[in-house]
Amino acid sequence: MRKPISFPKQVGKASRQAHADFPEEAIYEREAGRSGFFGPATHFHHTHAPTGWSEWEGPLRPRCFDFNKLSGLDTASPWLAENLLFNAHCKFRIWHLDSAMKKLARNADGDDLLFVHEGAGELFCDYGHLSIRDGDYVVIPRSTNWRIEPAEPMQLLMIEATNGSYQLPEKGLVGNHAIFDPACLDVPDIDDAFKAQYSEESWQVEVKRHGEVSVVTFPYNPLDAVGWHGDLSPVRVNWRDFRPLMSHRYHLPPSAHTTFVAERFVVCTFVPRPIESDPGALKVPFYHNNDDYDEVLFYHAGDFFSRDNIDRGMVTFHPAGFTHGPHPKAFQAGREHKKKFTDEVAVMLDARDSLQVGEVSHTVENPDYVMSWQEKK
């Protein structure tokens, strides 16, 4: 049986509580932790910002991509969307869809998580019909036949659980109804809109397996179910349904905002919430070494309060192995408690295995992002 080497100690001047009441001469706290935010951890108190580097050489660096600048994202098939970040267990893509899909999609490689960044439309699948809009998460189980008819141009973030599935996180002490009640999960319906698309005309299904696509032709529309029963189905939930965990006296770690769990990665959602009000509580994300996970943030809407010069549709990527945290302006604003409420919406992917950067991502990278923590003189 494995047991971590863990023996809480205190050396020098340190706060009694993480993320609160720092020593006056050391206002910068750094968390060195394992297993995301669930394992052993130590909190250091520094006199300088842990992100105050003056130079950076080598490939391990914080990165920022403006995927708004990518061209060729509008395709009729999700399987033509390129991998922007990926490893053996997950694929991170962005897909634009302006017109109705003419073929059904089917992913035999794993579950898909769609996040509607912009637009709205109608999803038809083996299980029935769902109307979807901006801010919706839609989990599509592996090997489900599906297609989308946009009511307006759509931009979708797609995260594939390669050879895996999505589950809800364990909510522990706060109970099953925290963050969002499972009753908020909508499933497709065999409604009039679904029945209206029954057809005896030929339809094709694009099946992706091992990253390659096969095309299967039917002399009718395979979406012809008249009913179903069971406990496997696509589900939809919107971030507007979320009621985030919060504490007025303690800045909760990102893990408190976990939305979906898959094999070797998690997806979290940051939504508007009150900022900590206790005078001694940290009011921005803490500096941390997340040395076991690569962190990816997709900025959906609002003003992300720990970052400067980040717009909606952009993505930051912080690989495991170095300390990161809020930008200087955001850190100072937190100390002054200028904002009382966050207005950001962002999707975070935390991957246990290192992510590779797709070739197309390099074309829209901001090479100066690594130096964005330098304080402006």
Among all residues, which ones are annotated catalytic? 251
46 is in an annotated binding site: no
151 close to 120: Cβ distance less than 8 angstroms: yes
CA–CA dist 2, 277 (Å, integer): 40
Q: Say how many residues make up the chain.
A: 377
Cα-based distances in Å from 72 to 138, 182, 313: 23, 37, 16
112 is in an annotated binding site: no
Place of tokens 């032709």: 217
337 is in an annotated binding site: no
**Phi/psi at 186 (5° precision):** -95, 145
Please name which of 11, 41, 7, 8 lies closest in space to residue 26, comparing C-alpha atoms. Answer: 11
251 close to 147: Cβ distance less than 8 angstroms: no
- For residue 143, give both structure tokens: 């090997």
Place of tokens 């941390």: 288
Task: Show the DSSP H helices in the chain as ranges.
Answer: 192-195, 328-336, 359-362
CA–CA dist 344, 270 (Å, integer): 7
Residue set of the binding site? 288, 294, 324
Residue set of the binding site for homogentisate? 324
Residue set of the binding site for Fe cation? 288, 294, 324
